Amino acid sequence: MFKKPKRISVLAALLAVPLGATGAMADGQTVVLRGARVLTMDGAKPEAQAIALVEGKIAAVGSDADIEPYLKGAKVYDLPAGALVLPGFQDDHNHLIWSATQAEDISLTDVSDEAGLRAAIEPAMAKLPKDVWLRGGGWSVGVYKEPSAKALDAITGDRLAYFDDVDGHSGWANSAALKLAGIDASTKDPEGGRIERDTQGNPTGLLRENAMSLVSSLLPEYPDAQVDAGLAKGQAEAMSFGITAIIDPSTEEWMLKGYQRADAEDKLKLRVEAAVKIDAEEGPDGVYRVQKLKNQYTSPHLEVTSVKLFVDGVIETGTAALLEAYVGSNSAGDALFTPEILNGIAIAADRVHLQLHAHAIGDRAVRMALDAFEAVEKANGKRDSRHQITHLELIDPADIERFKELGVVANIQALWVYPDTYIVDLTQPKIGPERSEWLYPFGALKKAGATIVGSSDWSVSSMNPLEAIQTGVTRQDIADPNGKVLTPQHKLDVMDMLRAYTVNAAYAAFDETDSGTLTVGKRADVVVLDRDVTKIPATEIASGKVLVTLIDGEAVYEAEGVAGK
């Protein structure tokens, strides 16, 4: 893949940051971190006592004596004993700008009944003009059991209202919104979508997958002020968790504008690689649209690198594509592409060196994505494409080995892998005990040699990497360390999870030359934790705190009471 623009190669970095005693004399800020264990994630030099950062690059990694020449005039962090210095965390599936912007809307998170629904919506109704949509998200079918247009109507009346669910695969509209969209008993389900209906065939207000766009396409674009405010808050939260780079896996043009606007004002500190969704209806021609956006929205911290493909939905609503039918049903779910269209888009995107980022929850969807990547290899030749499949809730054992064979990156959300309500009440009953033994088979992927990268899918779940790292290791509820374990045979160890958020994440983003390890010449993207997560009980990892986050050698987050001198 091509090199990212405006990024300095290792050779250029070495020339720009002279090593040895003269390094500390270079113009610009020098930062020294010492007193803690430095875990470099670089096999050539795994550990050190201290690290020096000069002009945004790593200038020296070694003993206290090695760093001493950099002390004069430097900003020095004397870290507490027991702290841990790591490469900055990279979250390779984070809907940052969309989630942060939507957070300024009405939140239905944890709303479980009509009283909670009313309490969430009525304050916004009082503030917003009557011709403005009531919009937001965060509701969950696992919490609010029977969402319906009637439930919204009782609160909103004839005002337009629409809410995405927490995972973005279902929409909840009131009657006014359904009427505006022309959705009634005679409306046919769109390809790849489903309009939920009552026993008389009337729409209930719930829209699944591609049916969501029947209403969501009518929503006005967010104002720039809301996008900018949301991004600022979302980025600050990410940096407080030690995150220094993300892949935003499904961007629209308004999101790219928001990122680029922030970058032009030197407010975008995170490095953002963006994927743009192509639907089945658009087909291979969608690649031209993605290329146009790529050319238009490239700046120092932003690049469009990938095509997002939603191959299926989710198990709990029966929209994930399975190889065998759901328990008690004749349906195995519907893929959102035919194999021919999926393969055609994948081949066209890969041909112009766009990476593929495929959402696949069910085992049939995973197989379809792998088949598409195999078709890409046959059509375009074998090369270092690093296409990704994300979520990977259910994989047929026969397909595990194909990840390494095809060079496909396994992009996981480890915070999901414990027996919560979604798993116990909504997933396992739908797939039965035998298939449930293959839920989130990360250990099998590791054993087969797959490259595993970490991510949050924020705002579906917390973007705190330490929470994901602990759950990936224990496969237990963080709040119940003595509780049940989900498929313990698929556990990862703490170093697996650290690699997933550092060196492997950089590899998946084609950025391993410049980030992912604390190696001389790479970018000075660093996180300092208050404890060494490799040396404490796994059930204590999520209790860790970030002390300092540095991007390009700049402290973009410091915990209270922590400051360099």
pLDDT at 165 over 90: no
* Per-residue pLDDT band at 27 (split at 50, 70, 90): very low
The DSSP output letter for 2 is P
Question: Which tokens go with 99?
Answer: 């989630």
Higher model confidence: residue 247 or residue 18?
Answer: 247
Distance between CA atoms of residues 344 and 284, nearest Å: 6
Phi, psi of 259 (to 5 degrees): -60, -45
DSSP string, 36-95: EEEE---TTS-EEEEEEEETTEEEEEE-HHHHGGG-TT-EEEEPPTT-EEEEPEEESS--
Phi-psi region of 336 (alpha: psi -120 to 50; beta: other; left: phi over 0): alpha
Phi, psi of 64 (to 5 degrees): -60, -40
Instruction: Reduce the DSSP state of residue 445 to 3 states and report it.
Output: helix
pLDDT (tens digit per residue) in 249-289: 999 999 999 999 999 999 999 999 999 999 999 999 999 99
Tell me what pLDDT residue 302 has: 98
Distance between CA atoms of residues 444 and 491, nearest Å: 9
Task: Indicate the pTM of the whole model.
Answer: 0.86
Question: Which tokens go with 541?
Answer: 């990892």
Residues 6+ apart with CB under 8 A from 537: none
Higher model confidence: residue 166 or residue 531?
Answer: 531
Tell me what pLDDT residue 128 has: 85
From 40-44, 220-224, 427-431, 487-491, the region with the lowest mean pLDDT: 220-224
Residues 6+ apart with CB under 8 A from 300: 5, 6, 263
Question: Which tokens go with 56?
Answer: 């945004």
pLDDT (tens digit per residue) in 451-498: 999 999 999 899 999 999 999 999 999 999 999 999 999 999 999 999
pLDDT at 24 over 60: no
- C-beta separation of 57 from 523 below 8 A: yes
Q: Which domains does the chain have, with CATH numbers?
A: 10-88+522-558 (2.30.40.10), 97-216 (3.10.310.70), 224-508 (3.20.20.140)
* Per-residue pLDDT band at 28 (split at 50, 70, 90): low
pLDDT (tens digit per residue) in 406-452: 999 999 999 999 999 889 999 999 999 999 999 999 999 999 999 99
pLDDT (tens digit per residue) in 306-339: 999 999 999 998 999 999 999 999 999 999 999 9
- C-beta separation of 508 from 455 below 8 A: no
Alpha helices in 108-199 (DSSP H): 114-127, 149-156, 175-180
CA distance readout (Å), 36 to 49, 407, 527: 6, 36, 12
Peptide bond into 148 cis (omega under 30): no
In 3-state terms the chain splits into helix, strand, coil percentages (rounded to 5) of 35, 20, 40
**Quick one: how far is CA 552 from the chain centroid?**
22
Question: Which tokens go with 321?
Answer: 């594509």
DSSP bridge partners of 53: 31, 58
The DSSP output letter for 159 is S
pLDDT at 10 over 70: no
Peptide bond into 459 cis (omega under 30): yes
Distance between CA atoms of residues 292 and 276, nearest Å: 11
Distance between CA atoms of residues 555 and 548, nearest Å: 7
DSSP string, 134-151: EEEEEE-TTTSS---HHH
* Rg over CA atoms, the chain: 24
User: What mean pLDDT value characterizes the chain?
Assistant: 92
From 114-118, 402-406, 510-514, the region with the lowest mean pLDDT: 114-118
Strand 84-87 relative to strand 106-107, pairing: unpaired
Distance between CA atoms of residues 165 and 405, nearest Å: 36
Using DSSP, how many helices (H) and how many strands (E) does the chain show? Answer: 19, 22
Tell me what pLDDT residue 142 has: 78
Distance between CA atoms of residues 117 and 114, nearest Å: 5
From 99-108, 339-348, 415-424, the region with the lowest mean pLDDT: 99-108
pLDDT at 2 over 60: no
Tell me what pLDDT residue 20 has: 32
The DSSP output letter for 112 is -
- C-beta separation of 462 from 470 below 8 A: no
| Terminal C-alpha separation, the chain | 41
Tell me what pLDDT residue 3 has: 26
Question: Which tokens go with 316?
Answer: 């709990």
The DSSP output letter for 10 is H
Question: Which tokens go with 374?
Answer: 């195999």
pLDDT (tens digit per residue) in 148-157: 999 999 999 9
Residues 6+ apart with CB under 8 A from 266: none
From 217-221, 378-382, 498-502, the region with the lowest mean pLDDT: 217-221
Tell me what pLDDT residue 16 has: 30
What single letter denotes the amino acid at residue 356?
Answer: L
User: Which helix (H) or strand (E) is 473 found in, with range?
Assistant: helix 465-474
Distance between CA atoms of residues 209 and 194, nearest Å: 7
Phi, psi of 554 (to 5 degrees): -95, 130
For CA atoms 373, 374, 378, 383, give the dihedral sign: positive
